[in-house]
Amino acid sequence: MKPLKPVIFLVDMQSFYANIEKSLRPELRHRPVVVSGDPERRTGVILAACPLAKSYGIQNADTLREAQERCPEVAVVRPRMGLYLQISLRITEILERFSDQVEPYSIDEQFVSIHGSEKLFGSPRQIAGKIQAVIRNELNLYARVGIGPNKVLSKMACDNFAKKNRDGIFRLDHKNMKTDLWPLPVEKMFGVGKRMGDHLRKMGIRTIGDLAQFPLERLQKRWGVNGHVLWMTANGQDLSPVTPHTFERQKAIGHHITLPRDYRTAGEIRVVLLELCEEVCSRARHHQLLGQTVSVGCRGANYQLPTGFHRQLKMPEATNQTMEIFQYAWQLFLQFWDGLPVRSLGVSLSQLTPDRHIQLNLFEDRGKKAQLGYIMDEIKDRFGPTAILRAVSLTCAGQALNRARKIGGHYR
């Protein structure tokens, strides 16, 4: 008896946020709907548009003003991230009825390995149809399913074909890859954005097929390991397994914020950078981790003339103490900031190790300082994230109070 070949699904929820709102609010069922951030805080960007809204030319990442110009009668709904997360978890539970190998990829996309499930539920296409039916019947949401022998082909099957099919299902493997996938523009390939697409086109690579047949050694010479990964993806090769444990071993802990206005002075920026370090350190402590490399990134306020930087620094010792990490983060920022207004900031901590071992110091009690951070976390866990705040967070530059009311940068 021949062993079963791997079969992997990428299950993607159509217009996830917008369709959740339409399914729960009957008055919106036949109206064009967009889910948008808070326009009063200059975050009026379209997070999701229902298919009817998209028929007017509205796309994700459009500004709210652009969406309303294209469709004046569009219904604008504020995001409810807590609700969306709950429904995402319910979708995971549905998928786990068909397989014990379910890997969340994003809030609205999940990989499923159905290797061995065929004996219970039928062919891959039949299983995909059953998954769609269960999600539709229980949640009134529509799922598209890309099918492939590995994760990268199932992802491209969903993005490029299943989303455009009447039944929302498409299988992409090495039998039809050359005829269906290779003729597509290279920007349609997973892992290729606009900037990479520009680089590839300058090298004469215009389609995914061109990339698949391009000399591997030239790609490696130009981009190293990333060049090899691009070539493998174009040829439908992916060795990464579907695993439910993807997020259990973190490589880094980071936090990023888009500011409600242009921050122009070092004093204002310093407040937010300190708050970001506080958030990153708190998350590191909750995972019982220390980090030795701090990274700082910022983006300028002018979208037409992009400015900013992303730099990292290895600290002498691994730590999860806010002020220690802030010291190096601020040093990095001052070194690379061009003095122009800032629109967004980010801080991350990497080279993570367990916090069981702390480097002692003859001149200070590092153990007591480390313990203080954990005690502050316990108070916040018990009484809320704003139970203890640094005084600078109460100034007009502070964002901690506003962020405490949100999940993932959006209102709960």
Which residue numbers belong to the known binding site for Mg(2+)? 12, 108
**Closest to 181 measured CA to CA, from 167, 171, 191, 196:** 171
Paired sense of beta strands 143-148 and 8-13, if any: antiparallel
Alpha-carbon torsion angle 143, 148, 152, 153, nearest 10: -100
Task: Say if CB 276 and CB 263 are below 8 A apart.
Answer: no
Task: Say if CB 254 and CB 277 are below 8 A apart.
Answer: no
Q: 69, 93, 96, 109: which one is catalytic? A: 109
Is residue 217 flagged as an active site residue?
Answer: no
- State the DSSP string of 299-310: EES-SSS--EEE
Compute the Cα dihedral for 161, 163, 166, 167 and give only its sign.
positive
Cα–Cα distances (Å) from 302 to 262, 299, 340, in that order, read 10, 9, 9
Three-state DSSP class for residue 242: coil
Residue 354 has φ and ψ, to the nearest 5°, of -60, 150
Nearest 5 degrees, angle CA 13-CA 238-CA 180? 65
**Closest to 146 measured CA to CA, from 110, 98, 175:** 110
Residue ranges of the alpha helices (H) in 172-265?
194-202, 208-212, 216-223, 225-234
Task: Say if CB 297 and CB 375 are below 8 A apart.
Answer: no
Residue 283 has φ and ψ, to the nearest 5°, of -65, -40
% helix / strand / coil in the chain, to the nearest 5?
Answer: 45, 25, 35
Alpha-carbon torsion angle 44, 47, 53, 59, nearest 10: 90
Three-state DSSP class for residue 163: helix
Number of separate helices (H) and strands (E) present in the chain: 15, 14
Query: Annotated binding residues, as ranges?
Result: 12, 108
The one-letter amino acid code at 396 reads C
Q: Which residues belong to the active site?
A: 109
